[in-house]
Amino acid sequence: MSISFECDYTLGAHPRILDALVATNFSHQPGYGEDEFTLAAQKAILSAAGCPGGEVFLLSGGTQTNRTVISAVLSVYEGVIAAQTGHIAVHEAGAIEASGHKVLTLPSHAGKLSADDLENFMAAFNADPTRAHTVWPGMVYVSQPTEYGTVYSREELTGLYRVCREHGLYFYIDGARLGYALEGGFDGTLADIAASCDGFYVGGTKVGCLCGEALVFPKGAPKHFFTTVKQNGALLAKGRLLGVQFKTLFEDGLYFEISRNAIEKADRMRRLFSGLGFEFLLPTATNQIFVIMEKNLAQRLSEQVRFGFWEPYSATHDVYRFASCWATTDGDVDFLESALRRAL
């Protein structure tokens, strides 16, 4: 079965990335991120993010990136605040705790953390006479888009960042699927993201790379961050693998172009489901769609296309996830439409 909407990492890389890997393969380059491709990628990303004085580090994966940056930023007595649904709170196998730090959870509003909740939490923390017996909040972690495919607005991000600055909290944005937020509902640009936080990463793995996340520090990295990257096992000897990929994505806007493709296809899928009377678990504008569907129907549909089970909904219905990606074509959505009509 060759049509899949299961998630955004079932294929390899965008063909232009493979082409670039082939084209650069026999160029001798220094290791550990000092190659010319990494340097070019860093420059292109900082330029796209409107912070030419910042710093960029290229790492392999999301959990690795989160763990490395959180362990570099936090002091030994500090923890990191996240929504209860935040990736670091749930699906990173205790990576943050393994580096010695508690994840302090606040309520999730469709995957999002609210500035009001954060402000209230900090006010209560500061009013607590026993606070010195507890973990000190040192950092705030959000995902853009969230684990539920929802997107923070500029105002929401700047609101969170304002509370962070008031309370001396480092504000960090996990952008595993950042492209799909930028092209799918965020009312701003990459430069707005960079201006709204102390650190963020631009996800590559789920936006057309074989692997790789570009960690951006708009105002400069934590001290000796290179060593912390190495200590976390996150430093590739052939850093060129990451450099070539991000250079390709950022030197002429390919990252945004392929993100936009995913959003356009997801929009078609949203209209398709709506038109057929389906309801969604929650409204999303990104590349992930959470459809409430009768179980029998889902069973029949799954014989024709691949998609993912998300969570139970009722005795007769479940929620299923349909995701588009950089490679999704109009033909794929056409196929989904016929498959759906056949299955109904």
Rule CB under 8 A: which of 212-251 touch a second copy?
A: 223-224, 226-228, 230-238, 240-241
Q: Is 295 in the site for a second copy (CB under 8 A)?
A: no
* Interface map 9-48 toward a second copy (x if CB under 8 A): xxxxx-x--x--xx-xxxxxxxxx----------------
Nearest to 215 by CA among 84, 70, 57, 327: 57
Q: Which amino acid is at 332?
A: D
Q: Which of residues 303-322 bind a second copy (CB under 8 A)?
A: 306
- Residue closer to a second copy, measured from CB, 37 or 51: 37
Q: Is 76 in the site for a second copy (CB under 8 A)?
A: yes
- Residue closer to a second copy, measured from CB, 156 or 174: 174
Length of the chain: 344
Nearest distance, CB of residue 138 and a second copy, angstroms: 10
Nearest to 333 by CA among 257, 270, 256: 270
Contact of 85 with 108, CB cutoff 8 Å: yes
β-sheet bridge partners, residue 318:
293, 312
Q: Which of residues 159-218 bind a second copy (CB under 8 A)?
A: 205-206, 210-211
Q: Which of residues 126-155 bind a second copy (CB under 8 A)?
A: 130, 132-136
Considering only 63, 146, 248, 286, the residue that binds a second copy (CB under 8 A) is 63
Q: Is 64 in the site for a second copy (CB under 8 A)?
A: yes
Angle of helix 240-250 relative to helix 36-48, nearest 10 degrees, comes to 40
Q: Which of residues 94-113 bind a second copy (CB under 8 A)?
A: 94-95, 97-103
Instruction: Tally Cβ neighbours within 10 Å of residue 321.
Output: 18
- Centroid of chain to Cα 205: 9
Pairing of strands 288-294, 279-280: antiparallel
Distances 176 to 35, 258, 285, 305 between C-alpha atoms, Å: 24, 15, 16, 25
Q: Is 264 in the site for a second copy (CB under 8 A)?
A: no
Number of residues counted as binding a second copy (CB under 8 A): 79
Pairing of strands 288-294, 308-312: unpaired
- Residue closer to a second copy, measured from CB, 177 or 268: 177
